[in-house]
Amino acid sequence: MTFRAYKATADFFSSPRTAEDIERYLEEQGRRLFVERVRSDGKITDVAPGKPLTVKSGDEIVLGGLFGTLALHLEKVPVSLSTSGGALIAGLVLGWLRSKHPTFGRLPRSSVWLMDNLGLNMFIAVVGISSGPSFVSGFKEVGVVMFLMGIIATSIPLILGMLIGRKVFKFPAAITLGCCAGSRTTTASLGAVQDAIGSSIPAMGYTVTYAIGKTLLILWGVVIVLLMS
């Protein structure tokens, strides 16, 4: 695959142009502009939601969730991706398919923005509501020691992860932060990092570590309970 870049210095680009105008101009110059569009009889068209080429995000979530509910039992330890992990795997598969076939699984940017922001905010709210009662009661029973232990248990793996990603694997800072967010299975932190740098690059490091972290979290949680019982 060959990529070519052209510097837009001609007077043609001094005013706003549509994709059709730019393609027509470059074609006259003997060049081509590749954009993610569907063509019908040589004309640029678009895939509207609801047409056969569109895959509904709800179907992806349902299928991924069903896949995540499947569990493999090793002795007494169940190994599962969980519904969230299954939905993530489904998203990875469909994202890869879309990279090969741009007309597959189109989702309007407005819908992506709504799900990103509304879904993330609802997730944070639900976590706070469900964790609030146990946090207050635990703080009353154990005191400040639990609070300090929580800070230590949360900070040390993240600090080590950032140092290893930066010094050992030589990852860029954005990808390293995405890996740390995925290893902690914390979607809210990924959103915060992406908003801070204004890029979706951290998601490249988030997906794989999230799937691994989610599986190990469930697996080792069950193992520790069995060992302590």
Residue indicated by tokens 């302590």: 228
What pLDDT is stored for residue 97 in this prediction? 77
2 located within any domain: no
222 and 149 in a single domain? The answer is yes
**Where among 95, 121, 138 does a domain terminate?**
138
Query: Are 148 and 133 in a shared domain?
Result: no
The pLDDT value recorded for residue 42 is: 57
153 and 211 in a common domain: yes
34 in any annotated domain: yes
What's the pLDDT at 156? 94
Task: Return the pLDDT at 141.
Answer: 81
- On whether residue 77 sits in a domain, the answer given is no
One domain, residues 181 and 226: yes
103-161 pLDDT, tens digit each: 666 667 777 778 777 877 787 788 788 877 777 787 778 778 878 888 898 899 999 99
Residues 148, 229 within the same domain:
yes
Helix residue ranges, H only, the chain = 19-28, 57-69, 82-100, 109-142, 144-163, 173-183, 187-197, 202-228
- Return phi, psi of residue 81, to 5°: -80, -15
Which residue type is seen at 58?
G
User: In terms of domains, do 188 and 134 share one?
Assistant: no
pLDDT of residue 2: 44
Please tell me whether residues 184 and 224 are part of one structural domain. Answer: yes
Task: Extract the tokens encoding 92.
Answer: 């990875």
Amino acid at 184: R
Q: Are residues 222 and 153 in the same domain?
A: yes
Those residues with Cβ within 8 angstroms of residue 165's Cβ, 6 or more apart along the chain or in another chain: 171, 175, 176, 179, 180, 205
- 162 close to 176: Cβ distance less than 8 angstroms: yes
Boundary residue ending a domain (6, 24, 45) = 45
Counted domains in the chain: 3
Beta bridge partners of residue 45, listed in sequence order: 38
157/186 same-domain check: yes
Domain shared by 206 and 224, yes or no = yes
Q: How many CB atoms lie within 10 A of CB 124?
A: 13
Say what the pLDDT of residue 177 is.
92
Q: Is residue 56 part of a domain?
A: no
Task: Give Cα 24 distance to the centre of its chain.
Answer: 36
118 and 179 part of one domain: no
Q: What is the pLDDT of residue 8?
A: 57
Q: Is residue 20 part of a domain?
A: yes
The answer to the question of residue 215 being in a domain is yes
Chunked in runs of 10, what are the mean pLDDT values of the chain (229 residues)? 51 71 76 55 52 55 81 71 76 76 68 76 81 78 82 91 93 92 85 86 87 76 73
181 & 220 share domain: yes
- Which structural domain, as residue segments, surrounds residue 220? 143-229
Whether 164 is covered by a domain: the verdict is: yes
Global pTM reads 0.57
Count of beta carbons in the 10 Å neighbourhood of residue 28: 9
The answer to whether position 74 is within a domain reads no
